[in-house]
Amino acid sequence: MTLPFVHLRLHSEYSLVDGLVKLKSLVSTTAERAMPALALTDEANLFGLVKFYKAAQGRG
């Protein structure tokens, strides 16, 4: 039995310290690879939260 991989620490383009990942491509890749979940752990803010939520809801 293979367990699916889930990122539990990921910084997006909205992380003030070290983020580089674009939210739209992140959610698309996650859906394409059938990953069941994803944790967005940006540093020092929640600027990308609404965009992340809407993109994830849009991709199921």
Domain boundaries, the chain: 1-60
pLDDT at res. 42? 92
- Decide if 4 contacts 34 (C-beta within 8 A): yes
Q: How far apart are CA 18 and CA 56, in angstroms?
A: 22
**Which pLDDT tens digits describe the chain residue by residue (60 residues)?**
788 889 899 999 999 888 889 999 999 999 999 899 999 999 888 999 999 999 999 988
Q: How far apart are CA 26 and CA 29, in angstroms?
A: 5
Buried b / exposed e over 44-53, threshold 16 CB at 10 Å, is eeeebeebbe
Q: How far apart are CA 60 and CA 47, in angstroms?
A: 21
